């Protein structure tokens, strides 16, 4: 399989900060991979996404999308931002938000065709002429997903995609992501451990450094890193972490090694 995303020895330090936000990150993703990146708030998940998207430039190391720099690969990437960043009061309709996802010059006929297809797929027909301020969290997330995939990107990147959605909405959202994964690579970040569904193919945990598992399994080391305890086995919270893993496995239907 061809490599789609290659991150090599990536470190990032914000201007005027003494410490690195991310240090020595390495990940390679192939075509149709589906990775969930977990981490605590402030652990560097969104920073990592911004580096992959080309919004930030690495302090050290490199990010390559299909062998090119991220800023040269915007046509290959679809992006769903955090809902907290959405300007709800903005005077814009759902139709316009989705159509903004089409890149380059697109004819009116082509735009209508793409719009109709994506709107049917995500069941947004009744919302097209509504303002974003009139939408629920779940509806808004579907609109943003529609905007991200209307141009058929090869990579779909999602930042805390279910933070404002109820449990049923979350379930439906991830079921749809699984379907999308048949045609695109998916990278999603969250601080919520329950986000690792059966659809993910690999898991990473980032808290300044990154631990990667090529199976969709959260290891004890990852939980240790999540809680800022780099050696989970030897710490006082070892027992607590065992319980945490059991709890997550139970909440995901007791799937062994696939939480």
Binding site for another protein (CB under 8 A): 15-16, 53-55, 71, 74-75, 77, 79, 81, 85-87, 89-93, 96-97, 100, 103, 129, 131, 147
CB nearer to another protein: pick between 12 and 79? 79
Answer left, alpha or beta for residue 10, where phi above 0 means left and psi between -120 and 50 means alpha. beta
Q: In whole angstroms, how close is the CB of 72 to another protein at the nearest point?
A: 8
Q: What is the number of residues in the chain? A: 259
Pairwise CA distance, residues 36 & 8, whole Å:
18
CB of 155 to another protein, least distance (A): 11
- Pick the closer one to another protein by CB: 32 or 131: 131
Least CB distance from residue 55 to another protein, whole Å? 5
Q: Are strands 60-65 and 3-12 parallel, antiparallel or unpaired?
A: antiparallel
- Among residues 180 and 241, whose Cβ is nearest to another protein? 180
Residue 120: CB minimum distance to another protein, A: 22
> DSSP state, 68?
B
The residues, any chain, with a CB within 8 Å of residue 146's CB and separated by 6 or more, are: 98, 101, 118, 119, 122, 124
Is 154:4 a contact under the CB 8 Å cutoff?
A: yes
Task: Name the residue nearer to another protein (CB basis): 63 or 211.
Answer: 63
């Amino acid at each position: 399989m061809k490599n789609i995303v290659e991150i090599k020895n990536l470190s990032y330090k914000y201007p005027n900060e003494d410490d690195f936000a991310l240090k020595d990150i390495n990940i390679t993703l192939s075509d149709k991979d589906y990775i969930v990146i977990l981490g605590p708030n402030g652990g560097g998940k969104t920073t990592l996404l911004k580096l992959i998207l080309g919004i930030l430039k690495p302090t050290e190391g490199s990010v390559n999308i299909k062998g090119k720099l991220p800023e040269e690969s915007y046509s290959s990437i679809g992006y769903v931002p955090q809902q907290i960043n959405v300007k709800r009061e903005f005077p814009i309709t759902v139709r316009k938000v989705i159509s903004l996802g089409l890149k380059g010059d697109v004819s009116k006929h082509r735009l209508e065709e793409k719009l109709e297809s994506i709107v049917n797929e995500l069941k947004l027909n009744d919302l097209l002429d509504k303002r974003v301020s009139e939408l629920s969290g779940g509806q808004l997330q579907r609109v943003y997903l529609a905007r991200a995939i209307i141009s058929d990107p090869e990579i779909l990147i999602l930042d805390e995609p279910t933070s404002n959605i109820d449990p049923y909405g979350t379930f439906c959202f991830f079921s749809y992501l699984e379907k999308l994964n048949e045609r695109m690579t998916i990278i999603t970040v969250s601080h919520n451990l329950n986000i690792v569904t059966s659809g993910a193919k690999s898991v990473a945990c980032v808290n300044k450094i990154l631990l990667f598992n090529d199976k969709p399994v959260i290891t004890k080391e990852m939980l240790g890193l999540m809680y800022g305890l780099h050696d989970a086995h030897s710490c006082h919270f070892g027992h607590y972490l065992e319980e945490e893993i059991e709890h997550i496995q139970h909440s995901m239907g007791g799937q062994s090694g696939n939480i």
